[in-house]
Amino acid sequence: MLKLYDVDTAKKTILKRQPLNTQQVPEKIKRGVEEIFGNGVSPTQAVGQIMASVRDEGDAALQRWSQVLDHTDLDTFLIPAEELEDAYRHLPEDIKDALDTAVERIRDFHQRQPLPDWTTTDMGGSLGQRVTPVQRAGVYVPGGTAPLPSSLLMSVIPAQVAGVKRVIVTTPPNPDPTILASAQLCGIEEVYQIGGAQAIAAMTFGTESVPKVDKIVGAGNLFVTIAKQQAYGIVGLDGLAGPTETMVIADESANPEWVASDLLAQAEHDVLASAILLTPSRKLALAVQREVAQQVETLSRVEIILQSLENKGGAVITPDLKTAAKLADDYAAEHLCLAVKDPVGLAEKINNAGGFFLGDHSFEVLGDYVAGPSHIMPTGGTARFASPLNVMDFVKISSMVALDPDTGKDLSPTAALIARVESLTAHAASADFRSES
């Protein structure tokens, strides 16, 4: 069930990264696309049709795609405020308390992130940067096989902390009440029941009822990701989410029961999710393998877990922790869990991870819900250059240039000379006028 790998084999299989745009589309999805859009139509082409129709036809296209793709007839997409209030009012008290705790910790964490404006007068006049929030942000909350109110919290709250004036949420039709209740808890007034690529199109172009936004955040399925690719440059994006992934580095001190549970928690997300253990202890790997086999029998999403472990999971036996750290750095996992004697020391040897989870009591599931940082993290190896969703995703930096007259005049000949090197004579002339004044 949980296969064991040596390092060389793992590099050729479960540790080998494949670019998102070259990953093979499952046959089931291909067939579904062709049934609706015609033979030979790829998911990318299908999404292109959806995007173009929403751009050109607005709400009429949204209604049509809701019928065709979601089998739902909708006269209006905006969920009434009273439905949000009702969903929250009818939540069991223990769930209310849990969501309250999550909101408090997520907000507290993000409020600590500095967003400094700065100026200097040391360069002749005044130079600096001004940080301002985007005006409208769109949050996509997936529906799929499980309701994800946590994804709403993890996306909406950083935007609110950043000062975004208008945050809208889109989610597939007939959303789970916990998603509506979470929106109410966060003070969100606009939740639109639109799913998939058509939701991304609506937020990208705007329709009669859905506002155009400045930036779209939130993970989704293959079609949502393709739609975000096609929206790039028209709106800002947080990134392109691939299948979720967890890597655990463990030594002989780790609790095999806990390590197994962490791997299974990741594998139950999706048949394409990755749950990988790196350890220099073959004894531990075997114990984790046994625990996985025992624990999976008690879980509700066993079929998904088994496919995930078969496709992308495994335990890699490494010569030592140094090798494990190098493999983890190269892999650049979304979640990197360090179940070792010295997690802080090992973390210092690794640059690339969306989030570091240090020690047995800082396990990834806490990060999914209540630790504080957003659980929307870079996947597919993009942790080499990308960051988890944070307040900075919802602001932009403007350069502020206010040079004094003497500095402007002194710098003009230098600017003119560089302009002539570039054969831009109008640029040079503009500078020359100032230097001669």
How far is 37 from 176, CA to CA, in rounded Å?
Answer: 29
What CATH number labels 4-18+243-384?
A: 3.40.50.1980
Q: Residue 48 carries which DSSP code?
A: H
Q: Are 336 and 357 in contact (CB under 8 A)?
A: yes
Longest Cα–Cα distance in the chain: 83
Q: Are 227 and 148 in contact (CB under 8 A)?
A: no
Tokens at 388, concatenated: 């988890």
pLDDT tens-digit profile of 42-76? 999 999 999 999 999 999 999 999 999 999 999 89
Tokens at 361, concatenated: 């009591």
| Confidence check: pLDDT of 409 > 90 | yes
pLDDT the model gives residue 23: 67
Q: Which of 110, 269, 335, 375 is catalytic?
A: 335
Strands 126-133 and 395-402: antiparallel
Class of domain 81-239: alpha beta
pLDDT tens-digit profile of 109-129? 999 999 999 999 999 999 999
Nearest to 378 by CA among 411, 410, 412, 354: 354
Q: Is 245 designated active site?
A: no
Q: Do domains 4-18+243-384 and 81-239 have the same CATH topology?
A: yes
| Mean pLDDT for the stretch of residues 408-431 | 97
| Confidence check: pLDDT of 21 > 70 | no
Strand partners for 316:
5, 278
pLDDT tens-digit profile of 285-302? 999 999 999 999 999 999
| Confidence check: pLDDT of 26 > 90 | no
Q: Is 364 designated active site?
A: no
Q: Are 181 and 149 in contact (CB under 8 A)?
A: yes
In the Cβ-directed half-sphere of 257, how many Cα atoms lie within 13 Å?
0
Strands 355-358 and 335-339: parallel
Per domain, the residue ranges of the chain are: 4-18+243-384, 81-239, 403-436
If you search the block for the tokens 């403007």, which residue do you land on? Answer: 398
Q: Which of 190, 334, 364, 375 is catalytic?
A: 334
pLDDT tens-digit profile of 143-201? 877 789 999 999 999 999 999 999 999 999 999 999 999 999 999 999 999 999 999 99
| Confidence check: pLDDT of 2 > 90 | yes
**Using CA atoms in the order 395, 365, 140, 87, what is the torsion angle rounded to 10 degrees?**
-110
Q: Residue 78 carries which DSSP code?
A: B
pLDDT tens-digit profile of 237-267? 999 988 899 999 999 999 999 999 999 999 9
Q: Give the 3-state DSSP-derived string for 317-377, with helices as H, strands as E and coil as C.
A: ECCCHHHHHHHHHHHCCCEEEEECCCHHHHHCCCCCCCEEEECCCCCHHHHHHCCCCCCCC
Tokens at 211, concatenated: 């506002």
67: helix, coil or strand? helix
Average pLDDT of the chain, as a whole number: 95
| Confidence check: pLDDT of 96 > 70 | yes
**Other beta carbons less than 10 A from residue 291's beta carbon:** 20
